[in-house]
Structure 1
């Protein structure tokens, strides 16, 4: 390990994490019936006939509670040891003008934490991880709990053919327990950047008491922006760590666009077998996508202690981020 890498190592990392899937699904046949878009065109976006989504009677915060309870029970960490509860996503929570972080804390019996929200869309989860670790480094708390609790499927107008690029948006709330020691994965470094010229590319409309995402205009070049910003962020973290692309065991990414995923790997010179493709199983689960992939790698025994994993996340705005993790093992 080089001195440069020691100097850039974050204090702490991921102690444990859990993803909880909702009870319902969005089916391509339903999307076709509602929008009139041909099934083949929808499958070119979803790559699966169905994917998890919240039922009408389910709330994202409730599933976030289940995820949080799972990691606390599994690790034996007391709610009294949680100093920060951070709820991340798009800002369109289950209720308006409301703190889901505080609600989850109350349900989990966390009584002495600072509870707050981070809005950075599908980059929100990793932004919250970075923010919470900074809080741990500054204070006396030993642990923080990050919840990813978007409700993306509720924000898509499935009757609008112009929204078909968003038809793969589903839901999978998650919890990430962070600590300053005994970590499953150390968080080594991260680099994030927003190109504000894309701020108005998507925005929401309020229709029949729902907030619905709408693309504004026909501006070209977003794909090029992805292929410019993600490799730049990868270069940032590898340079900070004194590492090279060949040292990367896996690169994980939001599962929003399979074609972009493949182009990014090609641009970086990373083979497909050093990533995880879940498009045939799930849609785009927002900020939980890389956690699902990470869980698969661990469950299948495909990670060894010391492996370097890069997590590439993006969010409307548009923001691109890459977070470097080192697997320590359980």
Structure 2
């Protein structure tokens, strides 16, 4: 997405439930090996219990809207992204969120790009705002992006469903404004995305197509589909593609934003919320070769938030007052498909 005129980020919020799921409990139950616990690097992750995923998004959205002073009735578009089951079989959680917030004039849109859904929704909503005509009486065009996921039993084992990733529950929200305003906490300068459709098989494996969810096996098992893929193709293709994709989205995003990879204004690179070993082996070497931005691993207390990693990263940057005025940061996201995204945000000079 080209941002000749930046889109303003008026506020970003991360809402986490109070409940926690402990790695020690998963180890004690035989769901994790000691090596898995070390490789993940999470003592615990948030557990939403019985709270429905869209309600997690509503809580995050209310915080973001109140913080930014945005009337939900003035929202033009609402994009909601998710990875896992939202609570009903044939239903639009985006419409539920809009109704719950009182965003009656907003166009509710669901975005399904698995773990990269939050970044994709930011890109799509920002593009929608950029394409819209000016609002009445000069009012800015306003958009809201939310994500929410709850990785609960019996269909999902948050600790053992995947390799190198533990899944935490939570909701995120970001308020976008076009044109950007002086009071915005950040400006979105660019979003770059790269897709490698040859890798969709990693989450399909050798499984047959089925008529309904979880009729082939009783719970989500990404380890099984990845084993089938690796048995057929080996690991080299994914490793090479992942490295190429990270470099590609980084280069494209910085080129669009007009910032060099070693520009002193570029201070931080927010990593996806994957396990510690996955980041150490697959992400940090590539980034250390490609940019001088300081990597930030903000997911030790949350685990992977499904579609919410990118917006959670934005929210944490805002909470920590990063980057400093006049400086910039990268926010990375990646998910099954496979798709990778990089956002470039800049703190406006005060």
| RMSD over equivalenced CA pairs, Å | 2.7
User: Is the alpha carbon distance of 1:53 and 1:261 closer, same or farther for their aligned partners in structure 2, counting shifts above 3 Å?
Assistant: farther
Q: How far apart in 1 are the matches of 2:292 and 2:52?
A: 38
Residues 138 and 51 from structure 1, CA distance in 2 versus in 1: closer, same or farther, beyond 3 angstroms? same
SS in 1 for 2:332: strand
After the TM superposition, which segments of 4 or more aligned residues of structure 1 sit over 6 Å from their partners?
Answer: none
Q: 1:65 to 1:208 in 2, by over 3 A?
A: farther
Rate the CA distance shift 1:123–1:312 in 2: closer, same or farther, 3 A.
Answer: same
Q: What is the match of residue 262 of structure 1?
A: 284
What does residue 271 of structure 2 align with? 253
Per the normalisation by structure 2, the TM-score is: 0.82
Using the TM superposition, give the Cα deviation of residue 253 of structure 1 relative to its aligned residue in structure 2, in angstroms: 2.0
Q: CA offset at residue 254 of structure 1?
A: 0.9
Contact 2:40–2:164, Cα closer than 8 Å, also in 1: no
Q: Residue by residue, what CA displacement relative to the aligned partner does 1:77-98 show, whole Å, maximum 9, x if unpaired?
A: 1122101111112263222211
TM-score, normalization: structure 1? Answer: 0.87
Pick closer, same or farther for the CA change 1:238–1:74 going to 2, 3 Å. Answer: closer
Query: Aligned match of 1:176 in 167, 170, 174?
Result: 174
Deviates more, 1:185-194 or 1:214-223: 214-223
1:27 paired residue among 22, 25, 32: 22
Partner Cα separation in structure 2 for residue 316 and residue 278 of structure 1: 21
1:12 aligned onto 2:7: yes
SS at match of 2:250: helix
Look up the SS of the partner of 1:206 in the other structure.
coil
Specify the alignment match of 1:243 in structure 2. 259
Structure 2 alignment gaps of length 5 or more: 136-140, 208-212
Task: Pick one of 47, 70, 78 that aligns with 2:41.
Answer: 47
- 73, 85, 93: which one aligns with 1:92: 85
Given that residues 254 and 287 in structure 1 are in contact (C-alpha distance below 8 angstroms), is that contact kept between their aligned partners in structure 2?
no
| 1:194 and 2:195 correspond | yes
Partner of 1:312: 332
The answer for the alignment partner of 2:249 in structure 1 is 233
Residue 115 of structure 1 deviates from its aligned partner by 0.6
SS at match of 1:245: coil
Is the CA contact 1:310–1:324 (under 8 Å) kept in the aligned structure 2? yes
Measured after TM superposition, the shift of residue 18 of structure 1 is 0.7
State the distance in 2 between where 1:229 and 1:93 align. Answer: 29
Alignment of 1:87-126 (within 5 A): 87-90=80-83, 92-126=85-119
3-state SS, counterpart of residue 108 of structure 2: strand
Deviation digits for residues 223-250 of structure 1 (CA, Å, limit 9, x no counterpart): 3322111111111122233321112211
What per-residue deviation string (whole Å, max 9, x for no partner) do you get for residues 33-84 of structure 1?
344432x2222232122111221x1111111111111122222211221011
**Cα distance between partner residues in 1 of 2:192 and 2:241:** 16
Deviation at 1:321, TM superposition (A): 1.3
Contact between 2:172 and 2:312, CA under 8 Å: does it hold in 1?
A: no
* Residue range with higher mean Cα deviation, 211-220 or 63-72: 211-220
**Counterpart in the other structure of 1:77:** 70
Per the alignment, do residues 251 and 145 of structure 1 end up closer, same or farther by CA in structure 2, a change over 3 Å counting? same
CA shift for structure 1 position 190: 1.8
Q: Which residue of 1 aligns with 2:318?
A: 298
| Residues 1:185 and 2:186 aligned together | yes
Deviations along 1:131-163, one digit per CA (max 9) or x if unpaired, are 111111222462111111123455633696xx4
Q: Compute the displacement of 1:311 (Å).
A: 1.4
Q: For the residues of structure 2 that align with 1:297 and 1:167, how far apart are their CA atoms? A: 22
